[in-house]
Structure 1
Amino acid sequence: MMKSATAALKLEVYLPATPREFQERMVSREEFDELRRNPPGWLVDLRRDGPHPRHVVAARLRISNSGLARGGITEPLTTAQIAELVADPPPWLERERETQAEVLREQRRLRGRDEGTDRANG
C-alpha cells in the first residue's frame, strides 16, 4: 500500500487536483498498476491539462526545481500556462535554461572523465 501523495508523485500529477476519493485513501500496488495501464478520465485530463506538480513544470520548461523558485514560480501551472512561458520566455527562464544546460554539460563531462578513469583502472 502507498499513500495517495506517493501515488500522485509516481503518476506525475498534482495531488490537490485529483478526486477527493483518491486523495483520502491508500492505494494498493494493484490499483496503482491499473491506473498506469488503464488511466481513468480524470488522470488523462490531469496529465494533459494540469495543473502540474513542480517537477513536471520544471521538466517541461527544461529547468531545475530551484530555477522555478528563483523565477518566482511557486504555484502549480497548467499546460496552457507552461506553453505561454515557452512561447515567450521571460529573461529569468532564459537564464535558468542556460544554467541548467551548463549543469548538464558539466555532469556529462564528469561522467565521461569517471568512465575514462574506470577503464584505465579496469
Structure 2
Amino acid sequence: MTSRKKPQTMKPATAAKKLNIYLDATPESFREGVVSRDELTALQADPPEWLRDLRRNGPHPRPVVAARLGVSISGLARGGITDPLTTEQINALKAEMPAWLERERATQAEVRKELARLKEKNAGRSHTVRPG
C-alpha cells in the first residue's frame, strides 16, 4: 500500500524570507495560510502583481535595505535604521548620504576587500604542492 506524499509546506514568514519580502506588507491571504514548495516555486517563477509591487516599492525587510544601501544589517542598526524602508526612503538616504551611511559603506568596502584578499590567499595555498 502506497500512501500519497503530503506536500511540504512552510509558514508564511519562512516563505516571505525566501522571497526577500516584508511579511507584514503581504496580502492577508498570504499571511494567514501556509505555502507549499510548489506555490513558492510558482511565486518565484511568475510573481503576481502584489509581489512585483512589493519587490519594486517595498517596504523592504532589513536584509534587502542593507543590501540596497551597501551596508551590513549591523550597520543599519548602528545608523538607527530598525524598521523596514520603502524604495523611496532608501533612495532618499542614498541621496542625502548621512555620515553614518558613508562610514558604514566604507566599513563594508573594507570587509569585502579583506574577504577577497583572504580568498585569494587561500586559493594560492590549495595549489601549492607540499613536500612529503
Task: With the length of structure 1 as denominator, give the TM-score of the two structures.
Answer: 0.97
Counterpart-to-counterpart distance in 1, 2:51 and 2:84: 16
Tell me the CA shift for residue 38 of structure 1.
1.3
Secondary structure, aligned partner of 1:59: helix
Structure 2 match to 1:3: 11
Task: Give ranges in structure 2 of 5+ residues lacking alignment.
Answer: 1-8
Counterpart of 2:87 (choices 79, 99, 108) is 79
**Larger radius of gyration, structure 1 or 2?**
2
Relative to total residues, which structure has the larger helix share, 1 or 2? 1
Q: In the TM superposition, what whole-angstrom CA distance separates every residue of 1:44-70 from its partner, at most 9, and x where no partner exists?
A: 110000000000000000000000000
Provide the rounded CA distance (Å) in 1 between the counterparts of 2:32 and 2:103.
40
Superposition CA RMSD, Å: 1.0
2:117 maps to 1:117: no
Q: What is the number of equivalent residue pairs in this alignment?
A: 122
Give the Å deviation of 1:20.
1.1
Deviation at 1:121, TM superposition (A): 4.0
Residue identity over aligned pairs, in percent, reads 60
Deviations 1:12-71 (A, max 9, x none): 100000011101111001111111111111101100000000000000000000000000
Q: 2:107 aligns with which of 99, 104, 111?
A: 99
1:19 match = 27
